[in-house]
Amino acid sequence: MDEITYAQAVNAALRRALVEDSSTVLFGEDVALPGGVHGVTRRLRREFGERVFDTPISESAILGGAVGAAIMGLRPIVEIMWADFAFVAFDQLINQAANVRYVSRGRLTAPMTVRTQQGATPGSCAQHSQNVEALFAHIPGLRVCLPATPQDAYDLLLTAIACDDPVVVIESRALYHSVKGTVEQDRPRAPVGGARIHRTGSDISVVTWGPMLHTVLEAAQVLEGSGVSVEVIDARWLNPFDTDTVAESVSRTGRLAVVHEANLTGGFGAEVIARVVERGMPLSAPPLRIATDDLRIPAAPGLQQAAIPSRDAVVRQLLSVCAPGVAA
């Protein structure tokens, strides 16, 4: 089986959805004729014609159109080019899409998928670099996932499209063309939810998601040389969040850290720790949050690199909890 990129995995999932279900439509800014600003929807317009179409630059119109289409029986997949731009259309997403099932007493649903991407890449400016997953996860009625591998980029998107509730799929621009892997494309669609343990360990449980998964896995490899065994959990879904998998891991390791690229204050890491602490689980060290400081993301690559948790920063902070006094 040939390896494909994260972006190609998203493209393959979209193609499968369009082939298998004629009610599926795909639209957004530049997704059709240009094939997506990042090339993710390339050739889909050519294969599926008017079921794949471009829209004006209006996030509110894109999401509002998706809500209406979903209520009327279609299964729209829309792209918000940058997660930062979803803010101008929050009314359609939060007041409308997330409420459809509730205000209709369950008679109607809004089976729509919102694809977007987020995160900082070198030179990305302040309005193109934020990590906003906690905002979406805060809204009842919205499902939220963040694939970190090509296989999950494929699987989670198909799961989202099959879901009868609105789902926000937050992809990673940094991973689109930098990560490759083999992707099984013929297995059944998985149900919504479920974390995955990527690496087993015995000294500390580290929960992460999105591109930070790869940083944490690199840090765990370094820490192995210092005798620290790290269990790495990819949350994958923030709503629903798989608290049971995290709690079971912490019951074995006795320590917990959460690593995310989003800003510290109000980040979903606080929610993860709260859920574990509320279960009254004994911890041998205070839980740890490793995140970007509460600042605007600088455009300068050097400053950006200093702001976002790096492999070495993760190593230092995990060592401070697991082996105080040991130098990184």
Tell me which residues are annotated as active site.
128
Query: Could you tell me if 289 and 273 are in contact, meaning their C-beta atoms sit under 8 angstroms apart?
Result: yes
E-assigned strand segments in 244-315: 256-263, 288-292
Taking the C-alpha atoms of residue 56 and residue 33, their distance in angstroms, rounded to an integer, is 13
Query: Could you tell me if 4 and 174 are in contact, meaning their C-beta atoms sit under 8 angstroms apart?
Result: no
Tell me the Ramachandran region of residue 204: left when phi exceeds 0, alpha when psi lies from -120 to 50, beta otherwise.
beta
Spatial CB neighbours of 122, under 8 Å, sequence gap ≥ 6: 301, 304
Tell me the two tokens of residue 169.
Answer: 């799929």
Taking the C-alpha atoms of residue 179 and residue 119, their distance in angstroms, rounded to an integer, is 15
Backbone angles phi, psi at 157, to 5 degrees: -65, -45
CA dihedral 221, 124, 37, 149 (to 10 degrees): 10
Tell me the two tokens of residue 111.
Answer: 């089976």
Taking the C-alpha atoms of residue 67 and residue 65, their distance in angstroms, rounded to an integer, is 5
Q: Is the dihedral of CA 241, 70, 119, 85 positive or negative?
A: negative
Taking the C-alpha atoms of residue 213 and residue 298, their distance in angstroms, rounded to an integer, is 22
